[in-house]
Amino acid sequence: MTAYVIKRLFLMIPTLFGVMLITFIVTQFVPGGPVEQLINELKQRHQTGEVATGLQGLYRGATGLDEERLKEIKAFYGFDQPAYKRFMTMMGKYLTLDFGDSYFHHQSVLDLVLSKLPVSISLGLWTFFLTYLTCIPLGVAKAVREGSPFDVVTSTLILIGYAIPGFMLGLTLLVLLGGGSFWDIFPLRGLVSDNWSELGWFDRILDYLWHMVLPITSMMIGSFATMTLLTKNSFLEEIRKQYVLAARAKGLTENTVLYKHIFRNAIIPLVTGFPGAFIGAFFTGSLLIETIFSLDGLGLLSYESILKRDYPVVLGTLYIFTLLGLIAKLLTDISYVLIDPRIQFDSVDQ
């Protein structure tokens, strides 16, 4: 297993390099880069007369920018060097976690990502834990009661929830419960109230949880179906195996058979996905949910960065997410061996 882990770690390097290279190449051909956006902004300001106030002499009407100014702008954004040099310089800095500064937010990419994490962690971790804590017991109950009215009703409800888009549910909840046309029960926006710093510690917790109810409900309603049915099918597959019949023939109780024999085998597909889902929960970003509930998280940051061609943010966050994704996949493979000793990667390599 040690050899397998070392091999996977070495394979991460070309994978990460390839992802960054492809994305970097794509950004070179996408129109509307930061230089073009600045020129368009200067042109619009010139037309409205704003250039004279703060950018005197930079834009010259129909003649545009002179060559010297244009070279200065390109040098400021780093476009005065060949693409391959910029890419190699960027990758060299990324090894030291230096992702540069945002073109438009005027702060380092790492600080910018960290400032958005509270929202994304709140959405991701609550969705992650509540989904696992709800869907696994529900899936077990459905497997034990397969074909019963309970199984049919719950399957219908979770499939209906799966069919409802999260943003549509969020809008509906805001209208019904957020002070729209019906009841004013939950807050409309934000992670906490404006007077949160003035509250006591217990009231702060309650205020935070109260703000999380509607966004979390909107995000997790669609994930119930996948996790619940995966749990149910995994348990049904184990229930029908011979060792279960043998355990029942020995006179063991149903609870003993279920939780001592079936559970530890059926839970393997769910537990092995735990590392990746847990790491991903820290960086979960939902553009529509964040927009609807006025939550400034990673989803909104990524969307705005792509629109503004904020390449340091786009490439820096891509590097972070790709690296964490590769680590999560490795942890998932390792968890297979730790949970199920029958799996041996050494034999697979031979």
Average pLDDT over residues 171-196: 80
Token match 């942890």: residue? 331
Average pLDDT over residues 183-197: 81
80 and 96 in contact (C-beta within 8 Å)?
A: no
Distance of alpha carbon 281 from alpha carbon 121, whole angstroms: 6
Distance of alpha carbon 166 from alpha carbon 284, whole angstroms: 14
Every domain of the chain and the residues it spans:
2-80, 110-349
pTM, rounded to two decimals: 0.75
pLDDT digits (tens, 9 = 90+) for 21-79: 999 988 887 777 777 777 776 666 666 655 444 444 454 555 556 667 777 777 777 77
218 and 170 in contact (C-beta within 8 Å)?
A: yes
Instruction: Assign a CATH topology to domain 110-349.
Output: MetI-like fold (1.10.3720)
pLDDT digits (tens, 9 = 90+) for 244-300: 888 888 888 888 888 888 887 888 777 777 767 777 666 666 778 888 888 888 888
Please count the other Cβ atoms lying within 10 Å of the Cβ belonging to residue 347: 7
Token match 């966004």: residue? 215
SS3 101: strand
Whole-number pLDDT of residue 256:
85
Average pLDDT over residues 306-327: 87
Query: What sign does the CA torsion over 42, 299, 116, 91 have?
Result: negative
